[in-house]
Amino acid sequence: MALEVQGLFFNPSFNSYVEIPDSANKFWSDELTVMAWVYKTHSVHYFRPIVSKHYTQWEMNDYYNRLRLEVYLTDGPLRAQTAPLLVAGNKYCVACTWRADDGIIRCYIDGEEQSVTYVDTQRSGVMNKNTYNVWVGARPSGVSYSGMIWNVLWYEVELSPDEIYWNFKNPNDPIDDGLILWLPFTENMGVIAKDRSDYGNHARLHNCRWVCKQRRGMYFDNGGIRFDSGLDIDCNYCSVVAVFAIETLERGGTIFTGRNCVVKPSGDKLMLYNSHANKKLIFTNYDGAWKGVETNIDLEAGQIYTGVGIMNNNEEHLYLASNGIIIDHNSRDDLGDCGEYTNSPVYVGGRHDGLYPLHGEVLATMIYNRPISEDEIRQISEINGWFDPPREGLISWILFDGLKEGDTPVDLITGAEGVSIGTPRFVIKKPIRVLRL
């Protein structure tokens, strides 16, 4: 029987890594324990980082198929590795500890202490500090891990062998004394992985794939859907929200159909969309000239985001959030009067004429008659937060997540039912697994 586990899949071809932002000057002490569960897909013909504070401070890696910890002191490095091999096609719990006063590195596989092939106990001094953030699955300018990583634990103390064994047998209830980072990697969507320790050092995913990937909502690839919601919208003072993913970014760009619409009212003002010219999300408005704002960062194919376009008088804002964390914000403040919409429908997944389909999935959309706050953006973008969005000023709320084949989506505020445009193919997708162990 296949072993069903959750976690992240790393691929060197995609330059996959996880970064803990603003961690450059954190996590430094004279003791260290780092632990993770891994599944290798390929043998290693040099090294692959598992968890790294760069090779100038410390790093746990897979070195020629052996678990190795490197600690860099002011007068030189300490290195130790296991004799048993980490064989491709197998799952392992790996852990390493170090304490400055004796300089001994201990390596563990599946809760058992393994033989240490090399420890230079003549080294002295303190651990180096560097300006690099903590990475999982790679190091800056290095090659990514090949396989799966989950349940990363990091302590500022040296755990005892009994405590290492406890964590191995109880991955959902690790020792909490000295724990400063715990990344289970169980979100299964989005580009933020939550730190479950008390420190809140949430991690940012880059080019990784969820092993048990959530595919939720309604999929649009050949048309859109209209809701005759009859909205009156002040285009100078409102918010447009979408929880979505775009699949076709994976091959280096979207389908060349112009704007790949996520959600919009009757015209192209207040539209959230992605252009084939790049991998940005764009929010646009019109005051006699088209004025848009786009994200600073690229979207990643298949990842679920919450995009929020906000108008606040002459200010136009665009936010991108994931799993309760705002990851990008851009704005401009040169807009004049953008007018209003009267008795407007809402279009999702495509334009009013059926063109510019999204080529992705939409889980929910919302329109407010006011600018919403950053705290409200975080609330909506939390996993399943779109099931209970803030109600003040909410004039349209369309929930696709949870629908079954044959269901008709409905605007939960106005009661308007969705009507297909053109020949859309709506597919309610189920969770898929990238890898089975």
Rounded to whole angstroms, the Cα distance separating 111 from 35 reads: 10
CB 18 within 8 A of CB 11: no
Which pLDDT value is given to residue 254?
41
71: its two tokens: 């600690």
In three-state form (DSSP H/G/I as H, E/B as E, the rest C), the secondary structure along 283-307 is EEEECCCEEEEECCCCCCCCCCEEE
Fold annotation for 8-213: Jelly Rolls (2.60.120)
**CA separation for the pair 412, 13 (Å, rounded):** 43
Two tokens, residue 317: 């804002």
How high does pLDDT run on average in the chain? 88
pLDDT for res 206: 96
CATH architecture of 218-431: Sandwich (2.60)
Dist CA 20 CA 200 (whole Å): 10
Predicted pLDDT at 426: 58
**Cβ neighbour number for residue 118 with a 10 Å cutoff:** 10
Residue-level pLDDT at 225:
92
Phi and psi angles of residue 166, each rounded to the nearest 5 degrees, phi first: -60, -45
Query: What is the tens place of the pLDDT at every residue in 254-286?
Result: 444 456 789 999 888 999 998 877 889 999 999
For the stretch 295-305, pLDDT in tens is: 999 999 889 99
Helix (H) or strand (E) holding 242: strand 237-246
pTM comes to 0.91
Which residues belong to CATH 2.60.120.200 in the chain? 8-213, 218-431
Pairing state between β 58-63 and 66-73: antiparallel
User: What tens digit of pLDDT does each residue of 180-194 get?
Assistant: 999 999 999 999 999
* Higher per-residue confidence, 55 vs 156: 156
Rounded distance, CA 107 to CA 128, Å?
A: 21
pLDDT of residue 122: 59
Which of the residue ranges 5-9, 16-20, 219-223 has the most confident prediction, judged by mean pLDDT? Answer: 16-20
- CA–CA dist 166, 250 (Å, integer): 40
pLDDT digits (tens, 9 = 90+) for 200-258: 899 999 999 999 877 678 888 777 899 999 999 999 999 999 999 987 654 434 444 45
3-state helix, strand, coil in the chain (%, to 5): 5, 45, 50
The predicted-structure confidence for 329-383, as pLDDT tens digits, reads as follows 999 999 999 999 999 999 999 888 877 788 888 999 999 999 999 999 999 999 9
Identify the band that residue 121 occupies on the pLDDT scale cut at 50, 70 and 90. low
Give the mean model confidence (pLDDT) for residues 63-82: 86
Residue 412 Cα distances to 12, 354, 367, angstroms: 44, 23, 12
The predicted-structure confidence for 124-152, as pLDDT tens digits, reads as follows: 667 888 888 999 999 987 889 999 999 99
Q: CA 347, 352, 354, 359 torsion: positive or negative?
A: negative
Residue 288's identity, in one-letter code, is: G
Q: Which of 323, 28, 6 is nearest to 154 (CA)?
A: 28
- ∠ CA(69), CA(436), CA(149), 5° rounding? 25
Number of helices (H), then strands (E), belonging to the chain: the values are 2, 33
DSSP 82: B
Q: Which one-letter amino acid corresponds to residue 217?
A: G
Pick 60 or 128 by higher pLDDT: 60
pLDDT of residue 1: 35
